[in-house]
Amino acid sequence: MHAAHELDDDPDGSGQRRFDELIATDSRIEPSDWMPAAYRKTLVRQISQHANSEIIGMQPEGNWITRAPSLKRKAILMAKVQDEAGHGLYLYSAAQTLGTDRDTMFENLITGKAKYSSIFNYTTPTWADMGSIGWLVDGAAICNQVPLCRASYGPYGRAMVRICKEESFHQRQGFEILLELMRGTPAQQQMAQESVNRWYAPALMMFGPPDADSPNSQQSMAWKIKRFSNDELRQRFVDMLVPQAEILGVTLPDPDLKWNEERGHYDFGELDWAEFTEVLAGRGPANAIRVSRRRTAHENGEWVRAAARAYADKQSADGQSADRQTNQAPAHEWMAS
Closest CA to 35 of 84, 12, 2: 2
Q: How far apart are CA 34 and CA 5, in angstroms?
A: 5
Q: How far is the CB of 84 from Fe ion (least distance, A)?
A: 5
Assess 61 for contact with Fe ion (CB under 5 A). Answer: no
Give how far Cα 330 sits from Cα of 315, 318, 319, 321, 326, Å. Answer: 21, 17, 15, 13, 5
Residue 29 three-state SS: strand
- Cα three-residue angle 34-37-38, rounded to 5 degrees: 125
Q: How far is the CB of 50 from Fe ion (least distance, A)?
A: 9
* Helical spans, DSSP H, in the chain: 14-24, 37-56, 58-62, 71-96, 102-110, 128-132, 138-145, 154-182, 186-205, 216-222, 230-248, 273-278, 287-300, 302-328, 331-336
Smaller CB distance to Fe ion: residue 134 or 284?
A: 134
Smaller CB distance to Fe ion: residue 18 or 158?
A: 158
Choices 163-171, 205-213, 235-243, 270-278; region in contact with Fe ion by CB under 5 A: 163-171
Other CB atoms within 10 A of residue 255 CB: 8
Assess 84 for contact with Fe ion (CB under 5 A). Answer: yes
Q: How far is the CB of 64 from Fe ion (least distance, A)?
A: 15
Assess 138 for contact with Fe ion (CB under 5 A). Answer: yes
Q: Cβ distance 147 to 160 under 8 Å? A: no
Smaller CB distance to Fe ion: residue 92 or 223?
A: 92
Binding-site size, Fe ion (CB under 5 A):
6
Q: How far apart are CA 155 and CA 38, in angstroms?
A: 17
Rule CB under 5 A: choose which of 5, 50, 73, 87 binds Fe ion: 87
Smaller CB distance to Fe ion: residue 89 or 245?
A: 89
Q: How far is the CB of 115 from Fe ion (least distance, A)?
A: 16
Q: CB within 8 A of 336, min separation 6: which ones?
A: none
Q: How far is the CB of 130 from Fe ion (least distance, A)?
A: 12
Binding mask 7-46 for Fe ion (x = CB under 5 A): ----------------------------------------
Q: How far is the CB of 53 from Fe ion (least distance, A)?
A: 8
User: Could you tell me if residue 289 is left (phi over 0), alpha (psi between -120 and 50 degrees) or otherwise beta?
Assistant: alpha
Rule CB under 5 A: choose which of 5, 40, 50, 170 binds Fe ion: 170
Choices 14-22, 41-49, 78-86, 248-256; region in contact with Fe ion by CB under 5 A: 78-86
Smaller CB distance to Fe ion: residue 137 or 280?
A: 137
Q: How far apart are CA 77 and CA 130, in angstroms?
A: 8
Q: How far is the CB of 134 from Fe ion (least distance, A)?
A: 8
Q: Which residues bind Fe ion (CB under 5 A)?
A: 54, 84, 87, 138, 167, 170
